[in-house]
Structure 1
Amino acid sequence: MRMTIGKKLWISFGILISLMLIMSAISFYSIQNIKDVMEIEVEKIFKDVSSSADRTFSLNRDLDGSDEQINRNIEEISNLLQKKIDLIVKKGMLDTNDNIVKSSRVAKIAVVLMGVLSVVLGLGLLTIIDRMVSVPISKLNHATDELSKGNLSINIDIDTKDEIGDLAASFNQMTKNLRNTIYSRDCEITEREWAEEKVRESKEELDVVIRNINDIVFQLTPLGFYRYINPRSKKILGYDPGELIGKHIKVTTPLNDITKVSDALMRVLKGREVFGLEIRQKHKEGEVLFVEINAVPIKKDGKVIAIQGIMRDVTDRKKAEEVAFQMFDVAADGMRLIDKDFNMLRVNDTFLHMSGVSKDKIENVKCYDYFQCEFCETEQCPMFQMSRKKRRIELEVVCMKADGNGIPCILTATPFMNASGEFVGIIEDFKDISEYKKAEEKRLGLESQLRQSQKLESIGTMANGIAHSLNNIIGAIRGYADMAMENQPKDTKIRNYIEHIIKGTKDAKELSSQMLIFSRKEITDLREVQLQHYIEEAVNFVEAAMTSPVKVVRNINEKCGSVLADPNQIQQVVMNLCMNAYQAMSEKGGGVLEIVYDEFRIDQEFAEKYANLYEGKYAKLSIIDTGSGIDEMTMVRMFEPFFTTKKVGEGSGLGLSVVHGIVREHNGEIIVNSEKDKGTCFDVYLPLA
């Protein structure tokens, strides 16, 4: 149980008071004992006197005497009483003295014992109080002296459950806290000193870096005056730092760039940062340099108090960019520079030529406004892909020119980075592959022609064999028919039958001749001839056979040169083509048939598309109709022998195959252009002699 010092003192005082009360009680008891003895003795005396008086009064009543007798009796009684009293007193005093002596002795012994006990208890109590108060206070005083001397390791060994114990514990805790606080302070001071040392070293290192950096490091006042500039200014601008400090930045800025500088200062004063500002600066010797400035605000209490910036000389880079842009401008491919907001920043002359757009229309427009391709504004857009992957891509696209025509291109897109390596846009390179596409189409066409020629050659070989076998059979039939005809009189049924047989053999002979022409085994009579007359005859023959309302238009150049040809076979070509055109227009109820014959010069580009054509002059025969046209499937097979779109019995399927064979036999080429439901044009090219 915790007991305070106050309680302990009160207990000690209580013990002392108790001892004093005990001693008082013992003394009172001794005196009371003496008093009691004396009262007992006096009472005995008064009892004896009373007894004597009673006897006296009794005698008086008996005697009934005079006053003198009574007085004598009273005197006797008084004497007797005095004697008795003296005897009693003497006896009583003796007894009383003995009792008093005894009681006095007891009281003295008790007082002495109580005094000794009080001294002992007092000394013990003082010792206890000394131990309880004086010793702890002495320890506290000693500890306080040691603490004042700086001894923080002092510790008071007091564990009593009272105020002094609490004070000692608080003192110990205080010294511990002091030790921890001083340790923390020492550590903090050490860390601060270390940090200050590092800051000092960093400042020194930073100062060395700033003084030796290749860029100009500067600091401006809010009004734009130099308050600091590193020594690099001497190398770049030709000015010592002292020459520029206190001067406005406009001192070294050409007039054309002052607006840029002012705008940049205003942005920084509003708390914004400026990066990549390209302006010009004047060297002390008058040379104009290109610099790039990055600037940030320095704030205090939310207010801009200075502008910190770095100025980098980018003159060499700008010159390199100019060289690059010169190469950009004269590149054979169309090129354009686009920022990441899809604005066209720069295009070269080739791009303008390819797109058909004038240079004044390129400014402040989006890339998808001109020379648009199928990937524009989709996920396949090069800008979208570059913003995610930032790598070069290549696409084959068809871009739309200003006139609405498409131009096939190989689009190569390359990411464009600024000096800090940040993605700012793309460079698009358009390689016109129109010629390549044409060459590819020509190659495919020539391959198709080759396959068709090979197929037709195979069919021709087969047709040649059939034609020769058929000629042998026809020859035998015709021979026997002629012999039978000689022995038959006129106007007989048998003679009539034989005439039909002979007519059939003639038709079969004609079919065999056509098959030989197709197979190029028929012997042709080629000579230099003007074809205008023969073409007119063939057209007139077809026109005479027409029954449907078809208008025939002739555009035949009489001055066209001669060709090396067989006129009869050329007429067969004209009649077959015109008859096919007439039949196609008859299905629509009429139309216009136009025959055009004129000279035509074939250039290398055109000649390269067809295997049988060469650069030079040709006679061009065109048969143009407004019929139903020819579908693609039919155009693929139209020159095959025995292929026909007519009903069974209406055609042999050899007409166009014979035309193809005749034209090829004359070293020419036949080209078909047709559009469904609009008409067909057959162009026959024959080399001039």
Structure 2
Amino acid sequence: MDNPMKTKAHLENALAEAQKRIAELERHAARCGRATEDSFEDSDNASVYMTLMHEAFNASPIGLAIFDTDMRYVTINRTLADLNGKPAQDHIGRRVRDIIPDLAGEIESVMRRVLHTGQPVLDIFISGSVASQPGITRYWNQHCFPLKDNRGRVIGVSIVVEEITARRRAEEALKESEKKYRTLFDSIDEGFVLADVVFDENGRPVDAYFAETNDAAANMLGQDVTGRYFRDVFSEGRVYLLDVAGQVALTGRNVRMEHFLEPDKKWYSFFLFKIGGPDSRRIGTIFQDITERRRAEEERARLLQDTDEQRGRLQAIIDSLPVGLCITDNTGKIIFMNDIAKGIWIGRAHYAKNIEEFSSDKAWWSDTGERIAAEDMPVARSLRGEICKTLAVDFERSDGTRGTQLVSSAPIRTSDGSITGSIALVQDITEQRRAQRALRESEEKYRSLFESSIDGILLTMPDGRITAANPAACRILQMTEEEIVQAGRDGVVDTSDPRLRLALEERRRKGKARAELIFRRKDGTTFPADISSSVISDQEDHIRSSVVFRDITERKEAEKRIRKLNEELEQRVKERTGDLIETVDRLDKQREVLQTIIDSIPVMLMFYDPAGKIYLVNRELEKVLGWSKEEMQTMDLMAAVYPDSGYRREVREYMIEAEPGWKDLTMTTRSGTRVCSSWSYVRLSDGSQIGIGIDVSERRRIDQDMKRLATAIEQSGEGIVIHNPDWVIVYANPAFEALTGYGREELMGKGISDLAEYFHGNDYGDISEYISRHGKQWSGVQKRKRKSGEVIDISLTVAPVHDQEGRIMNYVSAVRDVTAELRMQNQLAQNQKLEAIGTLAGGIAHDLKNILTPIVINTEVALMDIEEDHPVRELLEEIGQAARMGSDVVSQIVTFSRRSLQEKKPVAIENVVKESVDFLRSALPSTIDIRLQLSAGNARVLADPTRIKQVMVNLGSNAGHAMRENGGNLFIETAQERLNEEKASVVSPDLKAGRYVKIMVRDTGVGMDEQTKRRIFEPFFTTKKQGEGAGMGLSVVHGIVKDHEGAVSVWSKPGKGSVFTVFLPVWRDSGATGDEPSPLSAPGDA
């Protein structure tokens, strides 16, 4: 029974191929329609068009026809005429209803629609029967196209008809196949499961979803698992099956295995295969309980152990067989195969395989070339009781090669006559068949050569009889082949010629001979001929000869003419000899001039005669090597210049080849130094040679210097860029690529205007003008923007490169990122500025305190001494209030300048932060939500708690002011962080490495621009309105934090809020947390 799944796949492929063919035909029909319109536009080409149309119509595999406006046939091709069941000429001038009345109604209706609208109508489905096959329903797909003249008027209709009967039947067969597949799926005895394998993020199978199972699977599993997951159904004892399913789903390789399931105490056979494309994770599994079979096999193995001696004797017999031996059971399964059989099939056969499985799909009868069906295989026939003797079978091996084998097979029967298996003997006759084919091909090639040769060919016997003559021999001798055979050798060759006897003797001794003999034509005339004769033997070892001859009459006459010309030439040579003697005298004089020229040119020259001996060198070669010309002509110069024998051999081979081009050679001079040179050898027509050499030692040194320079630039830590005079980049090193973020392919050939984003608005015009005016390099600091959008500061040096005439040929730019360096310089300058302001403010505050203290005291005393309604009381109260406010400002200035002496002690920082937050909750409006996150643990700092609270309150108040209009969120977080020297220097240049408590105060307020951010820690600087603050809040924060050996940093952007981060050193006796958290990132840093 055919495999329904295989049948289904076959039908689907057939349907897809049919649909593809239909699409091609539709495109072809559309092209025909367009060609028709174009052809009718040119009335002068109408006759040519009609001729081509008829040829195309009759050759087309699809039905084609053209109708006039009365819907009468104008022309029709043979395909459509045969379909209609009438000759093409019987259609011309008639309507459709006259030819196929059953289908005329629908077809003429469509044609009327096309004639009326001028638009094509495609994909018209028609069904019916034809006269040649009455009663059989067939299906067609029809397209109708309008035919128009050059003014756009419709003058006819063209119809394209494609029969789709095969496609319709394929679709119906597919439906029937699917029905059979479902029936088979539900009725087979083996369990069948379709499952989708589930993988985790690392690509490991973790579960499988059972999409579909058959009844046999449910019976063997004891339950219907459809719609459930593997791990929900089975225990851990079956997890191995999940791993195998994962491998099949990923690799697509089928797995066939037998496995013992411990929970069931049973053996099962499994066949797992992938379903779908590369991205599919669905597999199919066919399994069955083989416990009983395994037990039977174990019992059989036990019994077989008792027959070792018999098996040994049998094996010896089998091993001595000169042919392949194959034994199967009664199902066709191979149970034994000797080495010769395995070698014939090259690994296609193995145990647990059915012999048809590896041979019937790729096996043919040698005699007819027909594919062998599975049931016609020799083994299959023997299993039905037939004895097959020496059947020739062609087969395809697993490596793709084809071979031929002789197969004999017979059934194996028990004593009661029942068939228990088969035995087959196989002999590989591939080489024998190949040799026979080669012999046939050789005979065919010889016959073709024999018949088509322009030379005469005769086949003769040792006694002179001629057995065959080719057409050329008949033409040359002016005889028929029968006449030549009857005449024999004596009739076509002049036997009186003594050269004939010599040629026959030479052929007898050597097996072949060449000679010039006189042949005789039918009319008795003779002619000279070149002959080549060889002794040959046929398959029966019969000796015969072949004679190939050619008429050389014209060549003989040409030789006479050449002899005459030679005599004339000899006379002219004598006449010219005198002239040549005079020419030699002149050449001797010119040789001196040539030697002077050769000795003056700055290249090495060596002249060799045809024997390879040096006969001339120039002075440049003497100067480079150190030997004189006379020494070089007498010594073994090659051995001296190239002392290594292997290297010398390579040089000689190069000289002998004398190919165009140059080769670098290393020569040893008289002093022992090694010279790098480049040589080219030219061979002259007389066999002599000229060697031309150039000393390239200096060039090599320059090349090495250039390579070292290029390596240094490539590995430099600074970015190096080379521009042409128009400031177009012609080179950029890897450091520049890393600095800018642009790849070399993005930079090469780009000008400044092309990289405007990178140059950040900077123009090289001023730099170019400076270099042109001063003639020297330019240096400075500029801003650039990386490809990522990050703006950086760079140190830029641009230097010109001049040519020999002093013109600028290139610009070289050296670029270094100084962003971090400038940032540290700015921070250091800001700290120094604040330090100077603090020192100045401290001195002023001391003097102001001395001035304000008596004012406050005296004002309070005066207020105590006067009545409540005294006229000056209000003035004194204003003076007192002003003096106290001044005292507060002085106190803040003192705090900023760190001149106050407060006691510091170990403080649990999170308690201080909590108290500060409690105060801020009551002080800030309800529109601001305060969120506290404490992660510093039990860390303590050496600090004045009151001043730390002041820091928190000032930062919280500052944040509240930024969110006063729209409200927002205030985040206060604490953590511990260990800063190395690099991280500490980024926060503040004078901050030391170590473990710190980090307090971060983040708001969602209006934020600050860069200019405001740079000045926020300056005393009396404020962005608040007059009367809302004195501008000392953040200055006091900075002073307190610095006094505690810490640092404060700020991040802010307009519209994105601000983040103030305070770092306070952890007290050395404070316990560390188990895991030190990473520093919190400010929003927008990414």
TM-score, normalised via structure 2 length = 0.33
- Higher RCO (C-alpha under 8 Å, 6+ residues apart): 1
Structure 1 or 2: more helix by fraction: 1
